[in-house]
A = this chain, B = another copy of it.
Amino acid sequence: MHDTTTEPTTITGAHRELLDQLLDRWSLEVLDRLCEHGALRFNGLRREIPAITQKSLTATLRRLERNGMVERVVVSDRPVAVEYRIAPVGQGLQDLIDALLQWSTRHMADVEAARERYDDAEAARE
């Protein structure tokens, strides 16, 4: 089952459609926090990600929910309490996100250096 086929795995339209949902402005960050905390409430997420606006958080959560990556659970009424948690499908994401973060952490300095080199060369060009 689920053999780790090393097939060409070219990026198809289907891949794009799925990845686009994932690689937008906020999804990774939201998923990251949900992975870390297990479950979070709406305003809990806002506190975790201060930079996100309410509208964007709602949109991101709805999209993730629609794609089955996140589960929305109404915990109680009066006062209303809603919990968000990673759905089974999204489980493997934690590793993916970590891999992404670790890669970028490792190469952050290289990239910064590359940018300076590029910008300097660019500036010298004029």
Number of copies: 2
Docked-complex contact B32 and A119, CB < 8 angstroms: no
Docked-complex contact B2 and A101, CB < 8 angstroms: no
Docked-complex contact A11 and B28, CB < 8 angstroms: yes
Any B CB within 8 A of the CB of A78: no
Docked-complex contact A118 and B65, CB < 8 angstroms: yes
Bound complex: CA A119 to CA B63 (Å):
11
* B-contact bits for A65-94, CB 8 A (1 contact / 0 none): 111110000000000000000010100110
Any B CB within 8 A of the CB of A59: no
Contact partners of A54 in chain B: CB under 8 A: none
A48 CB, nearest partner CB in chain B, Å: 9
Contact partners of A117 in chain B: CB under 8 A: 68
Q: Beyond A89-B107, A111-B18, is A102–B9 a contact (Cβ under 8 Å)?
A: yes
| Chain A contact residues, CB within 8 Å of chain B | 2, 4-5, 8-11, 14-16, 18-19, 22-23, 28-29, 32, 36, 65-69, 87, 89, 92-93, 95-96, 98-108, 110-111, 113-115, 117-119
Given contacts A9-B98, A69-B111, 4 further A-B contacts (CB under 8 A): A4-B102, A18-B104, A65-B118, A68-B117
